Amino acid sequence: MLNKFRDITTFIFDVDGVLTDGSVYVNDIGEQTRAFNIKDGYALQLAVKCGYNVCAISGSRSKIAMHRLNSLGIKDVYLGCSNKTETFKVYINERGISPMNVMYMGDDIPDLGVMKLVGMPVCPADAAEEIKEVSQYISHISGGKGCARDVVEKVLKIQGKWMGAEAYSW
């Protein structure tokens, strides 16, 4: 199964429940915030530096998510997506990416359609059962706790890119 990691050129992540633990913190004036894992951030920016396509597709409209992902060098961020499958199709068609070379990490029902189209559907340990059923790899780590790092690290290691020169510059 890990041999499939060898063909990955593109990482696509859901945000809430994958890059965050799914919690939304609301302050007394109604502003919402989320917590992101620093180890996920390290792996994501490293994947960008190593030349992988890195993308986020989310139903959320969080400006915080956009800011965090852009700060990691991720420019392909699609927020407020009511149909993730259509967004996915446009993204891969515009960039000439084969779905077989895509790893998509999702955690809940809105991710199911995309996960059925990619070469490597994966999920965090605490994903919905329907998502686990279609996943070819289930991380031992929950959403927002380093599950993105887990899968990015596996791909980079199997492709011999984990401890390259890019790894030492943050």
Q: What is the pLDDT of residues 29-56, one digit of tens each?
A: 988 899 999 999 999 999 999 999 999 9
What ranges do the domains of the chain cover?
2-161
Please check if 14 is assigned to a binding site: yes
Task: Please write down the HEC assignment for all residues of the chain.
Answer: CHHHHHHCCEEEECCCCCCCCCCCEECCCCCEECCCCHHHHHHHHHHHHCCCEEEEECCCCCHHHHHHHHHCCCCEEECCCCCHHHHHHHHHHHHCCCHHHEEEECCCHHHHHHHCCCCEEEECCCCCHHHHHHCCEECCCCCCCCHHHHHHHHHHHHCCCCCCHHHHCC
CATH superfamily of 2-161: HAD superfamily/HAD-like (3.40.50.1000)
Kindly report, residue by residue over 57-73, the tens digit of the pLDDT.
Answer: 999 998 999 999 999 99
Name the pTM for this structure: 0.94
